[in-house]
Amino acid sequence: MLNHATPKPLLLRVDPRARLVAAVVFSVVVAVCNRPEVLGVALAAGLVAVWLAGLGPGHVARRLLPLNVVMLMLLVMLPLTARGEPIIHVGPVAVAGRGVWLAVSIAVKGNAILLAVMALIGTLELPELGHALAHLRAPDKLVHLLLFTVRYLGLLEREAARLHDAARVRGFRPGCNRHTFRTYGYLVGMLLVNSARRGERIVDAMKCRGFRGRFYLLDHFAFSRIDVPFAVVSSVLMVGLILMEWS
Amino acid sequence: MNEPVVQLDAIDFQYEPGRPVLQGCDVQLLPGQRIGIAGHNGCGKTTLLHLIVGLLRPTAGRVVIFGQERRREADFHEVRQRVGLLFEDADDQLFCPTVAEDVAFGPLNQGKARGEVRTIVAETLGQLGLAGFESRLTHHLSGGEKRLVALATVLAMRPDVLLLDEPTTGLEPDTVTRLVQLLNGLPQAMLLISHDPAFLEATAQQHLRLTDGRLVDRPSRD
């Protein structure tokens, strides 16, 4: 591509709605497929997506780590617990071939899905994600919950930190005793009360600006030139995966 | 036209029985007039503003806005379209992810078309020296920026009356100077509540003090 002007990685220029839909469909398809060649292609697709989203290998590895710790546990547990023909006997322990395959396939599926989600959805700003959901007719309440959470989480965190500081400057040092538990109880209680009050003030402020229970969206995403090839490539990929699995 | 835009007659209000906040409180705001109200913490200044836009209802007395007595929630829908209230804490007012959406929230609620709203957003932000702030995230703004954006969200509704609740709290002197200039350049009638005598002096034409539940005249220099 001859697009020097925009340093933004290719995938990030795709419409958020298209990315969201692609990620969801990809996850479902990969989750139900079982053939090794299908899973291989899916994993490769995930890697390509991450590369197109311009994510560095270190960043990707850090995000994959927690998933793969769980996968490692499966890899140890499943071969020993799954039923089926044992392939190796180590003393009294039988290793089931089916179990090994099951664990490997779960690990590949998990990584492929996580890579795709990371590249397609993880690169969206949360407000963008909220809007994409709203435009895709996700339930209003859920979208608002997400957007309000984004907006006020930081504020709650600061409030909690302030209360904590207020306790600390008066010599509070947490330990494992009743005084500590009670103090934390008060802290959480106060945080809830403050949040409820703030909630009321926000509703008041919204009412003052004519809010009557309905949100209107200002931003409309526009499909751009990059969205067509993205839609074609991802559709071909999904259909290809399905055909490979069930032909 | 010299009919008052906001008129409170003999208002009583209390949050808890036996502890009245306002008692026989009167106020009259004429078109284009700017009234400054001073008073101690907890004396009911914010309450007064909330009564005007119907977030609270008086226990006695009449609330007359734009020449009509307002009693029920539905009466206040029109009031809120035409009276802009700037909250003391800008974080209460700014709840949309981006500045443009927050400024657009009021006009969209007024039923304006998207294209028109976009123009209003750009104009209002420009008027307050906030051009280019459209896609900024509201929770990343500084305190002064939040206050100005909150003012923009109110002005975007093109109100006839502005109610400002402690607009200078937490602002740097430079920002206060800018705010004073801005407010003095606006045509709207205003009720200004502040702890800061210099700010009231610089903006308001008439000066009142809220004590013991009622508004009393205050000479312009204490």
List for chain A the helix, strand, coil content (%; round to 5). 70, 5, 25
**How does pLDDT run across A182-203, given as a tens digit for each residue?**
888 888 888 888 888 888 888 8
CB-based contact, A169 to chain B, within 8 Å: no
pLDDT surpasses 60 at A4: no
Amino acid identity at B19: R
The enclosing H or E element of A71 equals helix A57-81
**How does pLDDT run across B88-104, given as a tens digit for each residue?**
888 888 877 789 988 98
CB-based contact, A213 to chain B, within 8 Å: no
Per CB-CB distance under 8 Å, the chain B contacts of A198 are 91-92
CB-based contact, A221 to chain B, within 8 Å: no
| pLDDT score at A3 | 43
Per CB-CB distance under 8 Å, the chain A contacts of B50 are 204
Question: B53 and B6 in contact (C-beta within 8 Å)?
Answer: no
Give the bridge partners for B98, in sequence order.
Answer: B137
| pLDDT score at B81 | 87
DSSP structural state of residue A131: H
| pLDDT score at B1 | 57
CB-based contact, A208 to chain B, within 8 Å: yes
Banded pLDDT at A2 (limits 50, 70, 90):
very low
**How does pLDDT run across B134-157, given as a tens digit for each residue?**
888 887 888 889 999 999 999 999
Give the bridge partners for A89, in sequence order.
Answer: A94
pLDDT surpasses 70 at B108: yes
Model ipTM? 0.70
Closest by CA to A14, choosing from A234, A236, A242, is: A234
Cα A36 from Cα A108, distance rounded (Å): 9
| pLDDT score at B219 | 66
**How does pLDDT run across A198-212, given as a tens digit for each residue?**
888 888 888 888 887
Amino acid identity at A135: H
Question: B166 and B194 in contact (C-beta within 8 Å)?
Answer: yes
Which range has the worst mean pLDDT, A169-173, B8-12, B193-197?
A: A169-173
| pLDDT score at B220 | 55
| pLDDT score at B166 | 92
Number of H helices, E strands in chain A: 8, 2
**How does pLDDT run across B113-127, given as a tens digit for each residue?**
889 999 999 999 999
State the distance between the two ends of chain A, measured CA to CA, in whole angstroms: 36
| pLDDT score at B221 | 53
Interface test with B, best of A209, A211, A215, A220 (most B CBs within 10 A): A209
| pLDDT score at B122 | 94
| pLDDT score at B86 | 92
DSSP structural state of residue A54: T
| pLDDT score at B77 | 86
Sheet holding B6-16, edge to edge: B19-29, B6-16, B60-65, B68-69
Question: A151 and B95 in contact (C-beta within 8 Å)?
Answer: yes
pLDDT surpasses 80 at A6: no
| Tokens 């099951």, located at residue | A102
| pLDDT score at A1 | 39
Give the bridge partners for A94, in sequence order.
Answer: A89
Give the closest of B53, B108, B139 to A154, CB-based: B139
pLDDT surpasses 90 at B8: yes
Cα B36 from Cα B42, distance rounded (Å): 17
Task: Quote the percentage of chain B above a pLDDT of 70.
Answer: 98
pLDDT surpasses 70 at B6: yes
CA B25 to chain CA centroid, Å, is: 18
Q: Which residues contact A24 (CB under 8 A, 6 or more apart)?
A: none
| pLDDT score at A64 | 93
State the distance between the two ends of chain B, measured CA to CA, in whole angstroms: 32
Per CB-CB distance under 8 Å, the chain B contacts of A151 are 94-97, 138-139
Three-state DSSP at A40 gives helix
